[in-house]
A and B are shown apart, each in its own frame.
Chain A
Amino acid sequence: MNWTWFHKLGSPKWFYEISGRWLPWLSISAALLILVGAVMGLAFAPPDYQQGNSFRIIYIHVPAAFLAQSTYISLAIAGIVGLVWKMKIADVAVQQAAPIGAWMTVIALLTGAVWGKPTWGAWWVWDARLTAMLILLFLYFGIIALGHAITNRDSAAKACAILAIVGVVNIPIIKYSVDWWNTLHQPATFTITEKPAMPMEMWLPLLIMTIGFYCFFAAVLLMRMRIEVLRRESRTRWAQAEVARQIGRSA
């Protein structure tokens, strides 16, 4: 296997150039997919036979919850890469992805509460799934706070990476909580491996929204990482040239 791309990732300049090329495509696909998915989910998908129209909240709740968990897994992977290969860009990724993951968790929890009220009859229940999701939010807060609290960049990177890696045990707990324990939350509707538990016209908007949310995450992450890379590389010639070019363009 050819590993040159992996080692190239270690070069901030290379990352900055390649991400600049991807960013417009990711942004456009994210905006289009989320718009199309939301319109399809809100107006064209049929209502559920039991829940009626409140079921349309699924088109935000499930993609956000999916992304909240995937983001944490990518934090852990970036943490391992940062600790083992001492790759600087991995630390940038951990620091910049954590706030996005936290916001996604907030969306999942809020829409879940709003959905729970008409469906279950309660905003919040302390069942295993909901509690594990709340713990995920606190893990994100922990990583963000650690990154800000430690002034030495290398120690901060190490501490955040370790917290990200250790906290990843929460992910299987979230995923399997509905199978391991009695919970109010229903098991997964949207799985990659199994036949979806809903007809095509309900499932397609969910798929589009989920892909849209992933593109959104990638676009926002690249935006955030590019600023941070410029900041950290401000002593190098290429970053100074890039900043000068950007200033010239905006002036």
Chain B
Amino acid sequence: MNPVRKKRLIIIVAILLGVAATVGLGLTALQQNINLFYTPTQIANGEAPQGARIRAGGLVKEGSLTRSEDSLTVDFVVTDGDADTGIQYRGILPDLFREGQGIVALGRLNENGVLIADEVLAKHDENYMPPEVSSALEKTGMLKHYEDGQKEARK
């Protein structure tokens, strides 16, 4: 490579590294603002602001869902494995909502640490499979195993 081209290439690489470093630092500083939701652990540690509208996200705990008899109000618990957050929501839940599913709820924490949500979004994972496969896996109790295996493989 002739020296003029080499010099231009070095300048470009230097600019790119500078921009990347700046953006990287900026994003690190904004880390918490970029996260879409707080995990139950963060809420338990008091990292989430009281009284402000926040999003809480986690897996719906098995057996925690209770529907009220006379209204659309539902109560459930989301967990990230270490901590739990109670959520109360009034309205129609998304199709994908079920126990064990990842969800994100938008609302305010009350004084008991329960999130009074006015919006619940379902989070989907990256695994897709036909219904027959999933029911076969479920029958043999392998679905959980399969999902854990997928998660492990990713790490």
A121, B96: Cα distance in complex, Å: 9
Contacts of A201 in B (CB 8 A): 130
Contacts of A194 in B (CB 8 A): 153-154
Establish whether residues A182 and B57, one from each chain, have CB atoms under 8 Å apart when the complex forms. Answer: yes
Q: How large is the interface on B (under 10, 10 to 19, 20 to 34, 35 or more residues)?
A: 35 or more
Establish whether residues B23 and A128, one from each chain, have CB atoms under 8 Å apart when the complex forms. Answer: no
| 17 pairs of residues in contact across A and B, judged by CB atoms under 8 Å | A46-B131, A46-B132, A49-B130, A50-B134, A51-B124, A125-B121, A126-B36, A162-B15, A181-B34, A184-B104, A186-B126, A189-B126, A189-B128, A197-B127, A197-B150, A202-B129, A202-B130
The interface size of chain A toward B, counting residues with CB under 8 Å, comes to 43
Does B16 interact with chain A (Cβ within 8 Å)?
A: yes
In addition to A119-B95, A189-B126, 15 A-B residue pairs with Cβ atoms within 8 Å of each other are A48-B128, A49-B133, A50-B96, A84-B12, A120-B96, A121-B120, A122-B119, A162-B15, A165-B12, A165-B16, A166-B16, A182-B38, A188-B126, A195-B153, A199-B133
Chain B, residue nearest A80 (CB): B12
Interface residues of chain B, those whose CB is within 8 Å of chain A, are 5, 8-9, 12, 15-16, 19-20, 23, 27, 31, 34-39, 57, 94-96, 104, 119-135, 150, 153-154
Establish whether residues A48 and B123, one from each chain, have CB atoms under 8 Å apart when the complex forms. Answer: no
Chain B, residue nearest A128 (CB): B34
A12, B116: Cα distance in complex, Å: 64
Interface residues of chain A, those whose CB is within 8 Å of chain B, are 46-51, 55, 58, 80, 83-85, 118-122, 125-128, 162, 165-166, 168-169, 173, 180-184, 186-189, 194-195, 197-199, 201-202
Smallest CB-CB A-B distances: 3 pairs = A46-B130, A121-B94, A49-B134
Contacts of A197 in B (CB 8 A): 126-128, 150
Contacts of B120 in A (CB 8 A): 121
Q: How far is the CB of A132 from chain B (nearest CB, A)?
A: 10
Establish whether residues A184 and B123, one from each chain, have CB atoms under 8 Å apart when the complex forms. Answer: yes
Contacts of A126 in B (CB 8 A): 36
Contacts A119-B96, A120-B121; is A182 near B154 (CB within 8 Å)?
A: no
A188, B5: Cα distance in complex, Å: 38
A197, B153: Cα distance in complex, Å: 10
Contacts of B95 in A (CB 8 A): 118-119
Contacts of A187 in B (CB 8 A): 125-126, 154
Chain A, residue nearest B23 (CB): A169
Establish whether residues A182 and B35, one from each chain, have CB atoms under 8 Å apart when the complex forms. Answer: yes
Q: How far is the CB of B54 from chain A (nearest CB, A)?
A: 12
Contacts of B35 in A (CB 8 A): 128, 181-182
Contacts of B36 in A (CB 8 A): 125-128, 181-184
A187, B125: Cα distance in complex, Å: 7
Contacts A181-B36, A184-B36, A189-B126; is A47 near B131 (CB within 8 Å)?
A: yes
Establish whether residues B37 and A182, one from each chain, have CB atoms under 8 Å apart when the complex forms. Answer: yes
Q: How far is the CB of A93 from chain B (nearest CB, A)?
A: 17
Contacts A49-B134, A120-B123, A182-B36; is A198 near B12 (CB within 8 Å)?
A: no
Q: How far is the CB of B100 from chain A (nearest CB, A)?
A: 11
Which of A122, A180, A186, A195 meets B125, CB within 8 Å? A186
A171, B104: Cα distance in complex, Å: 26
Chain B, residue nearest A203 (CB): B128
A127, B39: Cα distance in complex, Å: 15
**Residue with the greatest number of chain A CB neighbours at <10 A, chosen from B12, B23, B36, B130:** B36
A121, B121: Cα distance in complex, Å: 5
